[in-house]
Chains A and B, each alone.
Chain A
Amino acid sequence: MSEFVFLYRGETDIKKLSPQEAQQSMQQWMAWFKELEKKGKLKSIGQPLERAGKVVGGKAKPVTDGPYAETKDIIGGYSLIEARNLDEAAELAAGCPGIQRGGLVEVRPVMPLNM
């Protein structure tokens, strides 16, 4: 088993969701996490991240206020996943409900200590 981080990016449309759609979206996410957990793939559900923040570094202005760049690049949260390999991890990510609402899941293998 290897570990992977899922980075949930830019579910851009959530500001436009109606309350009913927001509720459905939430229920879909909860069901998806539950499913991952049942399959024993959810090492840690992780955390949601605030949209506003600061970006530190860069030449012109070392500290800038978020939001940064394009909304699609904003990371809305992350989880820690266990999967046999990158292919399986990607397959699991494909079920993420955020994808239906314009979001992306970035799947990144956690680099192991012992190569």
Chain B
Amino acid sequence: MDPAEHLFRQEAGRLVAILTRLFGVHNLALAEDVVQDAFCRALESWKFHGLPKNPSAWLMTTAKNRALEILRREGTARKFAPELGRLLESEWTLAPAVEEHFEPAAIQDGQLRMMFSCIHPGIPEETQLALILHLLCGFSVEETAAAFLKKAAAMEKRIGRAKKTLAGSRRLFNLAGAGDVAERLPAVLRALYLLFNEGYHGASAESPVRGELCAEARRLVSLLVDNPQTTTPAAHALTALLCFLAARLPGRLDAAGNLTLLVDQDRSSWDRALIAEGRRQLGLSAAGSEVTAYHLEAAIADLHARAARPEDTDWSGIIALYDMLMKIQPSPVVALNRAVALAQRDGPGRGLEAIALITDRERLARYPFYFAAMGEFELRLARRDEAREHFQAALTLARNPVERRFLEGRVRECGDVSPRRCPKSQPTVRSRAPRTFP
């Protein structure tokens, strides 16, 4: 029997969270050592004896016994979690207290405390994400570095500093304080959204889609919605969004590993069960009066999922949602997506006009799909030379071989350069665009 693909990783995340709660956040390193130890034992034993019936329980018992041993031995010499103080004084209370931390509800609670603790205001946002991946998802420093396309040495420093900050806090984040939870929850949701995005459109050189990052983000979001203290309409909306997007993951790359545009995707490859779960979550997200960007993005993704064929898409509905999104969270990327929807409904000319009206368009200058969108519109208007220039501009910004292959294909689609034009003497796309669309 084969264990689940990432069993060790997930168990590592759970165990570090439980043990940190037990030992106190200042003993984070000790918690990590105990977990490492449990895995060494598991590895050595299981390769001879085979997997136990319940590997998670085995690991947990091993870690629990080791924790008890440490608490008994060092209970007076070392300071552990403050809330444990009195309980550690007697064996009568110690064992049950430790046992309690390993109950399913407490495990979930421990992971959430750790998650909220990682979103520490004293830690830079990007490092918060790295820390979540490292501590809660069991990624080693090297694996975390690879996930964020950073050098291992640099990541080691950043994670090291962040852990120091974390270990310096008095205790793990307390979920019982409703006000504190509400205050930090938006940042937690944002971190998980970004983590998912890193897997979904990350700039990885090898692979444009990394499903495991998406899966980890979804697993962590589900912890939030499963807990009465952290479940909010916004958390449901984010869950819905990630379900819809994850449902489309199988269609993002075709059989040859090429990036496929949403309108060209094989819709039969979309995961219907995930779409259904997305709708259920979207329903739950409607409980309050608050409308977040996650609500709107989820609703947009839902409309895409509802269209059996691209031409059945409710573009007007999507444009209306983008309009709302521009009101609560304006950004040039949102505006670009709105322009693409507009072009689908009213034709490529309108799309180009909408792009020309994006106020802080210069912020898209490094974004390949900004130029690619203009290329698509020009191509549909049969202005092949303009289209080719845009695609070539996009090509210089491509972040991985898959994007490059995709854009090369688009350049080829534009055909040869017309004889009357010489591409070398053309002004750049960016300087030309405002002239065309004042």
Chain A residues lying within 8 Å of B9, measured Cβ to Cβ, are: 18-20, 23
For the complex, is B82 an interface residue (Cβ under 8 Å from A)? Answer: no
Assess A19 versus B50: contact at CB under 8 Å? Given A48-B45, A77-B44. no
The interface bits of chain A over 11-46 (1 if a CB of B lies within 8 angstroms of the residue's CB, else 0) are 000110111111101110110010000000000011
CA distance A46 to B49 in the complex (A): 9
Q: List chain B residues, Cβ under 8 A from A33.
A: 47-48
Q: With an 8 A cutoff between CB atoms, is A47 at the interface?
A: yes
Contact of A26 among B11, B47, B142 (CB under 8 A): B47
The bracket for how many chain B residues form the interface is 20 to 34
Q: Is the CB of A19 within 8 A of B12?
A: yes
The answer on a CB contact under 8 Å between B50 and A30 is yes
- The interface bits of chain B over 13-50 (1 if a CB of A lies within 8 angstroms of the residue's CB, else 0) are 00000000000000000000000100110111111111
Chain B binding surface SS class: helix
Q: A27-B2, A30-B50 are in contact. Are A22 and B45 (CB under 8 A)?
A: no
A26 touches B143 (CB 8 A): no
Judged by a CB distance under 8 angstroms, whether A76 is at the interface is yes
A18 and B3 contacting across the interface, CB-CB below 8 Å: no
Could you say which residues of chain B place their CB within 8 Å of the CB of A20? 6, 8-9, 138-140, 143
The docked-state distance in angstroms from the alpha carbon of A17 to that of B46 is 16
Contact assessment for A18 and B143 in the assembled complex, using a CB-CB cutoff below 8 Å: yes
* Minimum Cβ distance to chain A for residue B7 (Å): 6
Q: Which residue of B lies closest to A97 (CB)?
A: B47
Known A-B contacts A26-B43, A30-B47, A30-B50; A15 and B2 likewise in contact (beta carbons under 8 Å): no
A82 → chain B closest CB, angstroms: 18
Establish whether residues B44 and A48, one from each chain, have CB atoms under 8 Å apart when the complex forms.
yes
The answer on a CB contact under 8 Å between B39 and A19 is: yes
Known: A18-B138, A23-B7. A45 touches B43 (CB 8 A): no
Q: Which residues of B contact A18 (CB under 8 A)?
A: 9, 138-140, 142-143
**Docked-complex contact B48 and A22, CB < 8 angstroms:** no
A27-B2, A30-B50 as given contacts; A19 in contact with B8, CB under 8 Å: yes
- Cβ contact within 8 Å between A22 and B43: yes
List of B residues within 8 angstroms of A48 by Cβ = 44-45, 47-49
Query: What are the interface flags for A54-84 relative to B under an 8 Å C-beta threshold, 1 for contact and 0 otherwise?
Result: 0000000000000000000000110000000
Whether the Cβ atoms of A29 and B47 lie closer than 8 Å is yes
Could you tell me which residues of chain B, from 230 to 245, have a CB within 8 Å of some CB in chain A?
none
Residues of A close to B45: CB separation below 8 A: 48
B48 and A45 within 8 A (CB):
yes
A29 CA / B2 CA spacing, docked (Å)? 12
Nearest-CB residue, chain B, relative to A14: B40
Query: Do residues A26 and B36 form an inter-chain contact, with CB atoms below 8 A?
Result: no
Contact A26/B12 with A18-B142, A19-B39 known, Cβ cut-off 8 Å: no
In the assembled complex, the Cα of A33 lies from the Cα of B51 at a distance in Å of 13
In the complex, chain A residues whose CB is within 8 Å of the CB of B48: 33, 45-48, 77
B39 touches A22 (CB 8 A): yes
- In the complex, what distance in Å separates the CA atom of A115 from the CA atom of B40? 41
Residue from B42, B43, B47, B143 whose CB has the most chain A CB atoms within 10 Å: B47
Residues of A within 8 A of B (CB): 14-15, 17-23, 25-27, 29-30, 33, 45-48, 76-77
Q: 15 A-B residue contacts at CB 8 Å?
A: A14-B43, A14-B44, A15-B40, A18-B142, A19-B9, A19-B140, A20-B6, A22-B8, A22-B40, A23-B7, A25-B47, A26-B43, A30-B47, A48-B47, A48-B49
Q: A26-B46, A48-B45 are in contact. List 15 more A-B contacts (CB 8 A).
A: A15-B36, A18-B138, A18-B139, A18-B140, A19-B138, A20-B6, A20-B9, A23-B9, A25-B47, A26-B47, A30-B51, A33-B47, A33-B48, A48-B47, A77-B48
Could you tell me which B residues sit within 8 Å of A by CB distance? 2-3, 6-9, 11-12, 36, 39-40, 42-51, 138-140, 142-143
